[in-house]
């Protein structure tokens, strides 16, 4: 089963990280990622640009394009992982590992229904 | 990250919202600032034990307000000293406050705080210093360092600015649409100033002044989150991101200026560029152009060119033309002339800037650019005269060194250059 781990955090807060702090967090996360890669369980990983760069398409009739993210909440979706796990417990384990590397915020774990690995260069 | 790092981060990110709400309560900058400081002290004690509150800003506003009210009461000696418990039961209070916090107040609060800092009575340097102190929460020492002045001098500058602002009576009522857009424009200009203060650093001070650029970007992002559909704020943010993306390529190891054409473009920050391009794309969709968007669009054309030869100078010329109409200024025309020299040659560009001479007779870049055009046309003696004048007007040692490089090249090309070369 594929699971998507969606990474939520307060953008204001993450925005206060210095370049060095940011790099340190990324470094810690890459340790967890490497482990998953070796096990052949890591799918696409994406870190999203700030929500100020986001645009939302409301599928009304006619469709409306709005500036900003889909939901105005304190914690924003900042990125996501796709990982291969036997069950939810395994997925939670991975999320816990990631959480140790980068505390704060929240992860939403969602089973993936349809998956294409894609072919865009990273 | 260590335990205190997350607290620092939370306090920094909550600061603009908390200070601006406290300012609404107390209508006095010093009281608001002091209340926030006191709340931070309590947070440092309470948060490591109890964990972070759900909404740090709401917590800080609540505690800051209570402590300040207690202080005021105490100083009036009307009530006995309060028990510490009276302010420690925060859970319910936080909930109530959080409800009132979301929504429109918050937006106008922060805008007001920023607007107070850029009051037209204040000279630009005081505006910047005040905003960095009050909104960003940089220490006087940090600001003094970035401005390359003594701590005492900066302290004085900020105190003076606060005094003037206190006398200025900025209204606390919710602004109407017109007042709001005026405030927004003034605040955007101030953020632009903060950025330029950092950006115009020379090589030896660039590292020290970088925080100014980063703070300006943070404030621009903050403003954009509050006004998500303002194309000019998107443009401003994009402009700052795209300019700052080149920070690591702008100076060589000796601190000498590296011009755009000669920069190692692999040193440009792709993440900042991606964000800047996304924002300017978004802004253009609104079809409400403005000076920041145009400047960002120019910067974007540079960012999109992997090599200098790929730069779309024709488009840049057109954009500067549009900027000239919107914001007529000899400096804009001077910039346009650089694009013109690439499209139609140095002769046409020189012709374009000649009429600017009386107005730019003390402007370093005018003579630098003029010298470069003359040099391209092989009029070396005139070029040397222009470069000499540029050196005399240089603001930083890096600027002077850069022009001297041109002069050296001229001398190499034409060894005997009259009396001057013999010196």
- Residue B293 near residue B284, CB atoms below 8 Å: yes
Asked if B242 is an interface residue toward chain A (Cβ–Cβ < 8 A), one would say: no
pLDDT in tens, B199-236: 877 667 777 788 889 989 999 998 998 898 999 999 99
Contacts of B1 in chain A (CB under 8 A): 21, 24-25, 103
> Which token pair is A11?
């953008």
Question: Would A118 be classed as within a structural domain?
Answer: no
Alpha-carbon span B417 to B326, nearest angstrom? 43
Burial class (CB in 10 A: 0-12, 13-18, 19+), B185: middle
Which chain A residue's Cα is nearest to B52? Answer: A104
- ∠ CA A68-B138-B74, nearest 5°, is 105
Report in angstroms the alpha-carbon separations of B176 from A79, B69, B105, B172, B323.
Answer: 38, 30, 13, 12, 29
Nearest to B275 among A24, A53, A65 (CB): A53
Beta bridge partners of A56: A66
pLDDT in tens, B366-407: 999 999 999 999 999 999 999 999 999 988 787 888 899 889
Contacts of A71 in chain B (CB under 8 A): none
CATH of residue A18's domain is 3.30.70.1060
Alpha-carbon span B407 to B387, nearest angstrom? 7
Residues near B122 by Cβ (< 8 Å), separated by ≥ 6?
B130, B161, B164, B165
Question: Would A11 be classed as within a structural domain?
Answer: yes
Question: Would A121 be classed as within a structural domain?
Answer: no
pLDDT at A115: 87
Q: Do A67 and B228 touch (CB under 8 A)?
A: yes
pLDDT in tens, B351-371: 999 999 999 999 999 999 999
Asked if B275 is an interface residue toward chain A (Cβ–Cβ < 8 A), one would say: yes
Contacts of B218 in chain A (CB under 8 A): 15-16
Query: Is the confidence at residue A14, as pLDDT, over 90?
Result: no
Question: Would A119 be classed as within a structural domain?
Answer: no
Query: Is the confidence at residue A54, as pLDDT, over 50?
Result: yes
Query: Is the confidence at residue B85, as pLDDT, over 60?
Result: no
For chains A and B, CB pairs below 8 A equal: 52
Residue B395: CB atoms within 10 Å: 11
Q: Do B229 and A67 touch (CB under 8 A)?
A: yes
Contacts of B234 in chain A (CB under 8 A): 52, 67
Question: Would A13 be classed as within a structural domain?
Answer: yes
Asked if A100 is an interface residue toward chain B (Cβ–Cβ < 8 A), one would say: no
pLDDT at B99: 46
pLDDT in tens, B310-331: 999 999 999 999 999 999 999 9
Nearest to A21 among B1, B10, B279 (CB): B1
* Mean pLDDT value of segment B239-262: 91
Question: Would A116 be classed as within a structural domain?
Answer: no
Asked if B285 is an interface residue toward chain A (Cβ–Cβ < 8 A), one would say: yes
Burial class (CB in 10 A: 0-12, 13-18, 19+), B217: buried
Nearest to B9 among A17, A52, A53 (CB): A17
Question: Would A120 be classed as within a structural domain?
Answer: no
ipTM of the complex: 0.83
Q: C-alpha B43: how far from its chain's center? A: 30
Alpha-carbon span B205 to B211, nearest angstrom? 11
Count of structural domains, chain A: 1
User: DSSP alpha helices (H): ranges in B77-173?
Assistant: 91-101, 104-117, 124-134, 140-147, 151-168
Q: Do A12 and B14 touch (CB under 8 A)?
A: yes
Q: Do B279 and A53 touch (CB under 8 A)?
A: yes
Query: Is the confidence at residue B417, as pLDDT, over 80?
Result: no
- Give the residue from B13, B5, B11, B7 showing the smallest Cα distance to B218: B13
What is the domain extent for residue A24?
Answer: 2-111
- Give the residue from A31, A1, A25 showing the smallest Cα distance to A105: A25
- Give the residue from A110, A50, A112 showing the smallest Cα distance to B276: A50
Asked if B281 is an interface residue toward chain A (Cβ–Cβ < 8 A), one would say: no
> Which token pair is B9?
């981060």
Length of chain B: 423
Nearest to A52 among B10, B14, B221 (CB): B221
What's the gap in Å between the CA of A87 and the closest CA on chain B? 30
Question: Would A38 be classed as within a structural domain?
Answer: yes
Alpha-carbon span B194 to B182, nearest angstrom? 19
């Amino acid at each position: 089963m594929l699971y998507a781990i969606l990474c939520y955090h307060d953008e204001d807060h993450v925005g206060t990280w210095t370049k060095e702090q940011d790099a340190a967090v990324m470094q810690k996360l890459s340790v967890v990622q490497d482990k998953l890669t070796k096990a052949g369980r890591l799918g696409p990983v994406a870190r999203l640009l700030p929500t100020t760069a986001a645009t939302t398409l409301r599928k009304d009739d006619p469709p409306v394009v709005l500036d900003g993210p889909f939901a105005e909440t304190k914690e924003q979706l900042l990125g996501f992982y796709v990982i291969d796990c036997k069950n939810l417990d395994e997925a939670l384990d991975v999320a816990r590992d990631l959480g140790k590397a980068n505390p704060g915020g929240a992860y939403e774990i969602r089973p993936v229904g349809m998956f294409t690995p894609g072919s865009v260069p990273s | 990250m260590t335990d205190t790092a997350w607290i620092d981060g939370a306090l920094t990110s909550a600061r603009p919202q908390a200070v601006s709400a406290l300012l609404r309560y107390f209508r006095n900058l010093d009281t608001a600032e002091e209340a926030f400081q006191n709340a931070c002290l309590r947070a440092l004690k309470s948060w490591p034990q109890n964990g972070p509150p759900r909404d740090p800003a709401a917590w800080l506003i609540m505690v800051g307000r209570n402590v300040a009210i207690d202080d005021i009461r105490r100083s009036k000696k009307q009530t006995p000293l309060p028990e510490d418990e009276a302010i420690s039961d925060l859970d319910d209070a936080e909930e109530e406050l959080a409800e009132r916090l979301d929504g429109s107040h918050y937006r106008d609060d922060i805008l007001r705080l920023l607007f107070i800092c850029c009051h037209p009575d204040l000279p630009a340097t005081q505006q910047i210093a005040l905003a960095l102190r009050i909104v960003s929460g940089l220490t006087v020492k940090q600001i003094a360092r970035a401005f390359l002045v003594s701590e005492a001098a900066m302290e004085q500058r900020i105190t003076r600015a606060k005094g003037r602002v206190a006398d200025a009576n900025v209204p606390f009522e919710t602004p109407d649409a017109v007042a709001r857009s005026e405030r927004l424009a003034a605040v955007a200009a101030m953020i632009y100033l903060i950025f330029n203060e950092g950006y115009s650093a020379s090589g030896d001070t660039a590292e020290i002044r970088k925080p100014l650029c980063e703070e300006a970007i943070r404030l621009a992002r903050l403003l954009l989150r509050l006004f998500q559909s303002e194309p000019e704020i998107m443009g401003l943010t994009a402009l700052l991101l795209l300019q700052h993306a080149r920070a690591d390529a702008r100076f060589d190891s000796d601190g000498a200026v590296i011009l755009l054409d000669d920069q190692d473009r692999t040193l440009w920050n792709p993440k900042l560029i991606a964000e800047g391009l996304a924002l300017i794309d978004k802004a253009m969709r609104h079809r409400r152009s403005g000076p920041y968007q145009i400047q960002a669009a120019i910067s974007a054309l540079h960012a999109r060119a992997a090599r200098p030869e790929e730069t779309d100078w024709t488009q840049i010329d057109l954009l500067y033309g549009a900027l000239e109409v919107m914001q007529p200024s000899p400096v804009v025309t001077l910039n346009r002339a650089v694009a013109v020299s690439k499209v139609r040659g140095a002769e046409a560009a020189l012709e374009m800037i000649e009429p600017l001479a009386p107005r730019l007779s003390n402007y370093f870049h005018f003579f630098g650019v003029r010298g470069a055009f003359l040099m391209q046309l092989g009029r070396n003696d005139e070029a040397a005269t222009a470069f000499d004048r540029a050196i005399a007007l240089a603001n930083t040692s890096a600027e002077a060194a850069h022009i001297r490089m041109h002069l050296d090249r001229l001398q190499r090309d034409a060894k005997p250059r009259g009396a001057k070369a013999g010196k």
